[in-house]
Amino acid sequence: MIDVTIQNFQDELIAASMQQPVLLDIWAPWCGPCKVLGPVLEKLEVAYAGRFRLAKLNSDEQPDIAGQLSQAFGVRSIPFCVLFDQGQPVDGFVGALPESQIRAFLDKHVPTADELEAEAEVDEAEALIAEGDADAALAKLQQAVAIDPANDDARYDYVKLLLERGALEQAQAAFEPV
């Protein structure tokens, strides 16, 4: 969890959301529902294990940022949460929602654990290809496709590498689900 200020807004919220979704919790110390929501969000940040990052903005200390976001979304009350992804606000909610509703909100926007694991396999495969270890890269890409069959980028890279190695039947089988 990070506290957002005018000084770190760009780095900790906008730039950070280019790497992973960031949920911004706009709150105030005097707000009862904020005191209920805050611990739930902190618990979920841990439970989601890196699938999103929690940022908190004290509206009393940062009224300019809170005001601009509230105006942009047409919201005049707190707690107010905004999810940022790829540098942009993509969705939000107002009020101290129950944990189940917050999970449903997050699940619409954050990658699954399998998607993250498959993406890590693809990153490792790319590094192995750059090092010239096509066999190990092929294994990593095969694993990525097995973990997340919907990852078209991983499947494309896997099929491409199979074709480059002359494994036409394997490439055709890997491409079959598409």
Residues assigned a catalytic role: 31, 34
* Measured distance CA(81)–CA(89) in Å, rounded: 10
Tell me, rounded to whole angstroms, the distance of Cα 14 from its chain centroid.
13
* Measured distance CA(177)–CA(174) in Å, rounded: 7
Residue 71, number of CB atoms within 10 A of its CB? 10
- Nearest CA to 80 out of 34, 125, 15, 124 is that of 34
Q: Cα separations (Å) of 48 from 65, 107, 130, 137, 178? A: 27, 10, 32, 28, 30
- Quick one: the chain helix, strand, coil %, rounded to 5? 55, 15, 30
* Measured distance CA(54)–CA(41) in Å, rounded: 7
Kindly tell me the sign of the dihedral angle through the C-alpha atoms of 135, 136, 140, 143. Answer: positive
